[in-house]
Amino acid sequence: MPKVDQLIAVFEDARALVAHPDNDFSWSSWIDQDDALAELNAIIAALRSGGYPNLSMGILFAPTGPMQEVSLSSGWGQEFLALAERFDGAITQDDPLGTDS
């Protein structure tokens, strides 16, 4: 199972980066900062309530996904890479065969 607490922490940190006032959203699929924050807020809320919006989560951290595009055009590309690595670790199942007890 994905590590939900870690995913929430990743998305809270992603939200903090996206909330920087000088971010450039022109190359991302997000219209603007409000659009990005609304999507991240919805994912965080879903995770906290036991939901699991896995498709939208993966797209955000994909190469040339909206998080990477904003990070590169806004000067926090290295922070994005560290965040994406944390996302990958949290989303990966501990036991892909389901044999954990």
Residue 55 has pLDDT above 90, yes or no: no
Residue 16 has pLDDT above 60, yes or no: yes
Whether residue 96 is contained in a domain is answered as no
pLDDT at 60: 94
* Helical H segments across the chain, by residue range: 4-18, 33-48, 54-61, 66-74, 77-91
Whether residue 60 is contained in a domain is answered as yes
Classify residue 7 by burial, with Cβ atoms within 10 Å: 0-12, 13-18, 19+: buried
Task: Label residue 93 by pLDDT band (50, 70, 90).
Answer: low
Residues of the domain holding 59: 4-91
Domain count, the chain: 1
Establish how many alpha carbons lie within 13 A of residue 99's alpha carbon, considering only the half-sphere containing its beta carbon: 1
* Average pLDDT of the chain, as a whole number: 89
Separation CA 10–CA 5 (nearest Å): 9
Whether residue 65 is contained in a domain is answered as yes
Whether residue 98 is contained in a domain is answered as no
pLDDT at 96: 42
